[in-house]
Amino acid sequence: MKPTIQFKRNTRSVFFHITTQCNLSCKHCYIDPAQHGSGAIPVETAIKWLDLLKKDNTDLVFLGGEPTLHPDLHTFIKFARKIGYRSITVDTNGYLFCNILDKVTTTEVDFFSFSLDGPNPQINDRIRGKGAFEHCIKGIYDARRKGFSVSLIYTVSAMNINALHIMPSLISTLDIQKFFIQIIGIRGKSAQLKDKRDLQVSYQDWKTHVPPVAKEVAALGIPVTYPKVFLEPEDTFECAGRVSEHYFVFPNGRVYQCPLCEDYPIHSFQIIEKKLSPMPPINERQLFQLDIPEGCVMNKLIQPGNISYDTSGRPNHQIACCLLKTNVKNEERDVVFDNAIIFFE
């Protein structure tokens, strides 16, 4: 297993929230209209912002809310492909509104990425809403029948981590090309809960459940990506906000560099008059510069329940940057873990 070295340089990832509207009401939704804006971004504005944010080697993800609710998503996809975004992904809950599969082609969309938080309706729908499991599975089949590449996202929390081990058997019946395991962020709705222990996952639970499932799915020939979360003693902490370009864009023009900061008006940039304008201090960029024993300073401030301490008051583990991922691949029948990770390949 390789020690964590660095994030990939000279690339840019843009996570473009084109609407805050959604047909579901997931318990862990991070969208906050007061901070992110409400409704769908106008077509002319979206086109201008896509042009502004693009440079060489830029990966693009369309998100919401539910991005397929935006009637002009297909227009944005076609424009982004035309001006040269390196990859284009659409994150979706699977309902696939506005006949999006009929309005774009497999050469225009690299992946449709589906969110599923349980191996069955009993677990998934308790988190995401009644009928969500059925629609997600149907959406996957519909996308594959039309030739689109598909990935699956499972957001781990205390509500569903004990069911993660069932996912490989479900995945083996789905024709997906990638599997992502995410960890819940204590922001948006989840930040409003009085007892965060109902959601947060301990170091031991994470190590017990996540790497073995990742290995099992990779053995099926499906690459797996999951957050590093807890650094090992030989790992070196690095903050993506210091060294790489990850832009999380919202309908009100706020641009964050760290998703953990999105509950607060401390965004790094604001899109003003066709420019990506730096915000004055104090914002998240100043916080990124702080070095603390716990690792990620934003995790310490926002979701400290992830951290445990020894009797001397020292953290038992450093928390990795939330954008640091581990890739697991099946290479010549040997499952390989690679921790020198970027957010996109």
Express each pLDDT in 77-94 by its tens digit.
999 999 999 999 999 999
How high is the pLDDT of residue 63? 98
Cα 48 to chain center, whole Å? 24
What is the per-residue pLDDT across 26-75, written as a single tens digit (0 to 9) for each? 988 999 999 999 999 999 999 999 999 999 999 999 999 999 999 999 99
* Confidence (pTM): 0.92
What integer is the mean pLDDT of 126-148? 97
Question: Would you place residue 233 in the very low, low, confident or very high pLDDT band (cuts 50, 70, 90)?
Answer: confident
Separation of alpha carbons 48 and 77, rounded Å: 13
Per-residue pLDDT at 342 exceeds 80: no
Mean pLDDT of the chain, nearest integer: 91
What integer is the mean pLDDT of 116-127? 97
222 CB contacts (<8 Å, ≥6 apart)?
171, 176, 177, 178, 179, 330
What is the per-residue pLDDT across 272-284, written as a single tens digit (0 to 9) for each? 988 999 999 999 9
Question: Would you place residue 197 in the very low, low, confident or very high pLDDT band (cuts 50, 70, 90)?
Answer: low
What integer is the mean pLDDT of 289-314? 92
What integer is the mean pLDDT of 231-246? 89
Cβ atoms 284, 254 nearer than 8 A: no
How high is the pLDDT of residue 337? 57
**What residues pair up with 88 in beta bridges, in sequence order?**
60
Q: Could you give the 3-state DSSP secondary structure of residue 324? A: coil
β 269-272/254-256 pair status: antiparallel
Which of residues 2 and 112 earns the better pLDDT score? 112
CATH number for the segment(s) 12-338: 3.20.20.70
